[in-house]
Structure formats: C-alpha cells, structure tokens
C-alpha cells in the first residue's frame, strides 16, 4: 500500500476509501493533501477489486476548504514541498496555470473518475471542501453537516469551480454566495444537493451499505452510466460554466480590491480581518 502524509487510503473488499487526514485543521487542503487525493484516486481506479470510491474527512469535519494559513505564513517556515507552490504563483500567468492544475484539474479528476464516488460529509464542508465533495457522484451527509462558500467576503470570485449553481440552482446559489450564509444538511437534501442525511453515529455504516449496494452493479455498466450522465451535464453547459468561471476567478485575483484585501490581512487571520472590516463597513 502506498504511503501518504496528509491522507489515508485503504481498500476493503469493493470499497476504496480516501480519508482527508488533517483533523486538527478541519482537513484544510494544502497542496500535499490535494496531490495525495489525486494519487490515491489513481490507485483506487487502477485496482480491479475496487468498484466504489468513498471520500471522507477525519475528525469533526469533511473539509474547511483551502489552507489559508499558508498564505500568511513566513515563507522561510514552509517546507520545500509547499514552498514550491509559492514559486509557481509569482505572475498572473503562472498563477493561472498552477490553479488550473492543482485546483481545477485535480477536482475534475474526481468528477470524471471511471468508478462511482461517494462523499461522506460531516461537520464543516466549506468553499473548496464543498467543491471537492460536489465532484463526487453521491453525497451522504451527517445531520450536523453544514455547507458554505463565504469567500466573496474575502474579495474572491467564489472558489475555482462554481459548483453552487449546479448543486442548488441559481437563486439559492446567489443567496449563499452573496451572503456567505451556511446551508444545513436537511435543506441541502431538500434542494437535491445531498442524497441522504443520517445521524452522525450512523454515517459510516450507512455509507458503507450504500457503497456495497452500488458495487453489486457490474463495473462497466457503472462506468458507462456515469459517463452518459456527465456528458449530458456537459451538453447542458457545465463544462463551459466551469471554464468561464475559472477565467473570471483568475481576473479577480488581479483586481485592486483583492490586492487590498490580501495586504490588509497580512498580519491577521482571515476571520479576524473580515470581522474587523465588516464592523468598519457597518459603522
């Protein structure tokens, strides 16, 4: 079995499970974690015994999104692996290429995996956490799951892929993105974003049972069914929606508004800076 630092991977019977394993940060996604998800996904897809892939988070949450603490860290304190990430973000051109590779393409690899995928979500599922979960074919949520994308308050044009519109419909997506409000698991199920909501203490058992039931369908049939539905989404404009949004997201990184935000929070956490700014705006 391959060795990973920021995730766990195990294959048990027909189920391959990828566990985001940074529970102390609510599974905030650094570059190593994102790349290791991709490596484990390839491992699972290359294993003929694995028919269904489950993506989960260790600890209290699925994922709190990108690891923003790195952006304000002393660059001398970063390890070589993470520092290489910053070396590729020095110009708009290299920033575009890097985010396309790490954030967009790594997510689309989950969406386009030839095997069914299930996101098992508990606690916080925020911004890029939501983006990753949304790439899965099914989402099973614990009753304490909360979904949100508050990054517009950080002068960002959403996350790299605009999953909210496709998951919830345009009216609800605008409400959540404009306000940064959270959506609870039950409402997410009512809106069709989440397949099932179960008590937290039943999440593991329920998801395993669902995965085993899906695994009874012949694998080629599952692959073709998934391919058919994904192609239908693309015919409805999903692929173009993703591509167009990413360009606007990149332009947003170059605006004066965003640069002022990044400069203003250099000595502060994102949460503290946004809170201060909101209070100043309301004064």
pLDDT for the residue 2: 58
Whether the model clears a pTM of 0.75, i.e. scores above it, the answer is yes
Beta strand residue intervals within the chain, DSSP E:
7-12, 15-20, 52-57, 117-121, 124-126, 138-142, 146-148, 183-184, 196-198
Across the range 96-101, mean pLDDT stands at 94
What is the rounded CA–CA span in Å between residue 127 and residue 39?
A: 22
Helix (H, G, I), strand (E, B) or coil at 112: coil
Across the range 228-254, mean pLDDT stands at 96
143-159 residue pLDDT tens? 999 999 999 988 889 89
Contact 24, 13 (CB under 8 A): no
What is the rounded CA–CA span in Å between residue 61 and residue 128?
A: 13
Domains of the chain: 7-282 (3.90.226.10)
47-64 residue pLDDT tens? 999 999 999 999 999 999
Flag whether pLDDT at 168 surpasses 90: yes
Which single residue is written with the structure tokens 């012949």? 218
- pLDDT band at 277, cuts 50/70/90? low
Percent of the chain with pLDDT over 90: 78
Percent of the chain with pLDDT over 70: 89
pLDDT for the residue 1: 47
- pLDDT band at 273, cuts 50/70/90? low
- pLDDT band at 280, cuts 50/70/90? low
pLDDT for the residue 281: 64
Contact 158, 180 (CB under 8 A): no
Considering only CA atoms, which of 144, 142, 98 is closest in space to residue 119? Answer: 142
């Amino acid at each position: 079995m391959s060795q990973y630092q920021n995730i766990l991977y195990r294959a048990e019977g027909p189920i391959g499970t990828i566990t985001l394993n940074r529970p102390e940060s609510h599974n905030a996604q650094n570059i190593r974690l994102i790349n290791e998800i991709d490596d484990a996904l390839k491992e699972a897809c290359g294993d003929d015994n694995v028919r269904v892939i489950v993506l989960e988070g260790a600890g209290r949450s699925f994922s709190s999104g990108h690891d923003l603490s790195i952006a304000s860290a002393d660059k001398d304190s970063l390890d070589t692996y993470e520092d290489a990430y910053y070396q590729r973000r020095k110009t708009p051109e290299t920033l575009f290429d890097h985010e396309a590779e790490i954030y967009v393409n790594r997510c689309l690899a989950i969406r386009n995996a030839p095997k069914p995928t299930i996101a098992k979500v508990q606690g916080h599922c925020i911004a890029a956490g939501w983006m990753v979960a949304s790439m899965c074919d099914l989402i099973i949520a614990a009753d304490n799951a909360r979904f949100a994308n508050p990054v517009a308050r950080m002068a960002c044009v959403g996350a790299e892929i605009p999953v909210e519109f496709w998951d919830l419909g345009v009216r609800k997506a605008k409400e959540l993105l404009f306000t940064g409000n959270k959506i609870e698991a039950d409402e997410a199920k009512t809106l069709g974003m989440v397949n099932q909501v179960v008590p937290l203490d039943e999440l593991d058992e329920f998801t395993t049972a669902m995965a085993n039931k899906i695994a009874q369908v012949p694998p080629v049939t599952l692959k073709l069914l998934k391919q058919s539905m994904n192609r239908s989404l693309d015919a409805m404009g999903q692929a173009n929606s993703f591509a167009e949004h990413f360009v606007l997201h990149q332009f947003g990184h170059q605006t004066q508004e965003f640069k002022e935000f990044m400069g203003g929070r250099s000595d502060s956490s994102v949460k503290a800076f946004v809170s201060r700014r909101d209070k100043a705006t309301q004064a």
